Amino acid sequence: MADNVPFSHRCTAFIFGLFQTISRFFFRLIFGAKGERMPPITDSILLESATSLATKIRNQQLGSVQVLESFIRRIKEVNPLLNCVVDQRYDEALKEAAAADELIKSGQYTVEQLAEQKPFLGVPISTKDCIAVKGLLHTAGLYARRDVRADEDAEAMALMRKAGAIPFALTNVSEVCMWWESNNTVHGRTNNAYDTNRIVGGSSGGEGCVQSAAGSPFGLGSDIGGSIRMPAFFNGIFGHKPSKLIVSNKGQFPEPFSAEQNSFLGLGPMSRFAEDLRPMLQIMAGENAKLLRLNTPVALDKLKFFYQESDGGGRMVSSVDPDLQQAMRRVVQHLSDKFGNGRVERVQLPQIRQSAAIWFANMRDDSGHGFSYQLGNLQRDINTYLEMAKWMVGASKHTLIGLITAVMDSNQCQHGSSKYKHLVAKRDELRANIQKLLGDNGVLIYPTHPTVAPYHNEPLLRPINFSYTGIVNVLGFPATAVPLGLGSEGLPLGVQVIANFNEDRLCLAVAEELQRAFGGWKRPEVHL
């Protein structure tokens, strides 16, 4: 914790830390030893990156039908244990895979033309239940939408489909995608592949989980407070939140209330392999891809690497786990050894300590609507206190955390108030400082989350921990979650890599370097 933290904050931090230690003891008593073990991976196709699968399919080393059948079998094997997939279109996808195989065999296109025009031809893709896939459920985990199906693809998915990818599975989310455990009254709770007693994160938790378990080669997530990066971290995969306003949010539910909120939300790629992120983002960005210069090589030996080990002592935010501190040090040591000590610098940005307050304030807008309106399916504000009373007797169709979040949201500072203006100014000051620090050749390495994946329901007792990712959304910078192996509890470790506006390629290049150094995704249980 930073030395200039006020004494009152230190006392609060001590009490909060003691409370968490005691609560963790009781959670361990409740859940006991690690949860059920994952079925071993026995099909080598499941261990390929999406990029590798696409290459082998268009070179007729593998068939699209063969690949799709492998992932369908895997989902059927793991989903009873994990509950990550909530809807599917296997029959339609198999027909589309057969058509892809026929197109390749026809010789209508050369291998080079296919690589250029349909770079992911025949590769199955999944996404979360808030990003529209024509014909599949589009509930966002909201009971009032339990029967809603999408009329058309979200724009990002339409672009991936145009590039040859085949949508085949839909994955679980938190209620209205505004909490960091994937659990709702429509589909239930999703379990972590490394320990089924632990969370998968949210709101792209089912997506992170299905990839972690090798049930999908790659997928789409969305992120307004860490909803790609936290699930990527908890599930040991890669996930990228693009620079603001690069990837279209059309087809995402719920829709942002304002243009500024729209800039905080980002649809982005998720995969077990860093090499998939760049070509996925190139496709998803559409016409905006030119702004990112993704095909311009990155000279890693010329980059400046900055790192911050914690938020400096945010109120009601957990201390960074020792395992994660060690992981950060290993990253710093690797970069120093490879690129020189002079290119790696420790920093401490003081405004980051207020990340949660800055995020909550900047999420306010002049629409008059808040989270209770989202729980009302963007049609009405629900009566949160009435719903909480109904929840106590098992009569509410909302989750407890959804209702608590609505109450918390209603008690935040109001748009246009003096506190709001103060915290917006804090955001702008922090944004300017980071822009100056990073320039066009620097990255900031920062914890994705202060703890490894908590037990189910444990986030209720540490709700503000999302601030490590949420602050990046309101700043608008790109950030990539990078896995760094497993820690002492057998759970994934990782960091996030942040760059300046439209310098996404720097994040992705560093992610690829760290995958080479630390091995990336680690299989929950493998037998070949």
Sheet containing strand 266-271, strands side by side: 85-88, 166-171, 124-128, 218-223, 266-271, 238-241, 479-486, 492-498, 442-446, 304-307, 344-346
Nearest to 171 by CA among 287, 87, 82: 87
The residues that bridge with 88 in the sheet, in sequence order, are 169
3-state secondary structure of 134: coil
- DSSP secondary structure code for residue 247 in this structure: S
- For residue 459, whether the previous peptide bond is cis, meaning omega lies within 30 degrees of 0, is no
Q: Are the beta carbons of 483 and 232 closer than 8 angstroms?
A: yes
Q: What is the CA radius of gyration of the chain?
A: 22
Rounded to 5°, the CA angle 161-227-29 comes to 130
CA 406/CA 375 separation, integer angstroms: 8
User: What's the pLDDT at 71?
Assistant: 99
Q: Are the beta carbons of 354 and 474 closer than 8 angstroms?
A: no
Per-residue pLDDT of the chain (528 residues; tens, 9 = 90+): 445 667 777 787 888 888 888 998 899 888 877 788 899 999 999 999 999 999 999 999 999 999 999 999 999 999 999 999 999 999 999 999 999 999 999 999 999 999 999 999 999 999 999 999 999 999 999 999 999 999 999 999 999 999 999 999 999 999 999 999 999 999 999 999 999 999 999 999 999 999 999 999 999 999 999 999 999 999 999 999 999 999 999 999 999 999 999 999 999 999 999 999 999 999 999 999 999 999 999 999 999 999 999 999 999 999 999 999 999 999 999 999 999 999 999 999 999 999 999 999 999 998 889 999 999 999 999 999 999 999 999 999 999 999 999 998 888 899 999 999 999 999 999 999 999 999 999 999 999 999 999 999 999 999 999 999 999 999 999 999 999 999 999 999 999 999 999 999 999 999 999 999 999 999 997 543
CB atoms within 10 A of CB 4: 10
- DSSP secondary structure code for residue 235 in this structure: T
CA 219/CA 204 separation, integer angstroms: 10
C-alpha distances in Å from residue 408, one per residue of 130, 273, 303, 413? 23, 37, 41, 10
User: What's the pLDDT at 2?
Assistant: 46
CA 358/CA 426 separation, integer angstroms: 7
Strand locations in 62-200 (E):
85-88, 124-128, 166-171, 183-184, 188-189
Q: Are the beta carbons of 43 and 523 closer than 8 angstroms?
A: no
CA 280/CA 262 separation, integer angstroms: 21
H or E segment and range at residue 424: helix 418-438
Report DSSP letters for 28-53, one per residue: HHHH-S--PPPPPB--GGGGS-HHHH
CA 357/CA 412 separation, integer angstroms: 9
Count of all residues that appear for the chain in the document: 528
3-state secondary structure of 126: strand
The owner of tokens 């599949």 is 136
Token code pair at residue 264: 């905080």
User: What's the pLDDT at 3?
Assistant: 53
Q: Are the beta carbons of 208 and 270 closer than 8 angstroms?
A: yes
User: What's the pLDDT at 426?
Assistant: 97
Report DSSP letters for 312-374, one per residue: S--TT-PPPPHHHHHHHHHHHHHHHHHH-GGGEEE---GGGGGHHHHHHHHT--TT---HHHH
Q: Are the beta carbons of 98 and 64 closer than 8 angstroms?
A: yes
H or E segment and range at residue 53: helix 50-58
First CA to last CA distance, the chain: 45
Please list the active-site residues: 128, 203, 227
Nearest to 151 by CA among 161, 136, 165, 173: 136
| pTM of the entire predicted model | 0.96
Q: Are the beta carbons of 275 and 221 closer than 8 angstroms?
A: no
The owner of tokens 């195989």 is 101
Distance of CA 129 to the CA centre of its chain: 14
At the fourth CATH level, which superfamily is domain 36-364+412-518? Amidase signature (AS) domain (3.90.1300.10)
User: What's the pLDDT at 218?
Assistant: 98
CB atoms within 10 A of CB 340: 11
Nearest to 178 by CA among 447, 316, 369, 431: 369
Nearest to 344 by CA among 519, 513, 493, 474: 513
CA 199/CA 230 separation, integer angstroms: 10
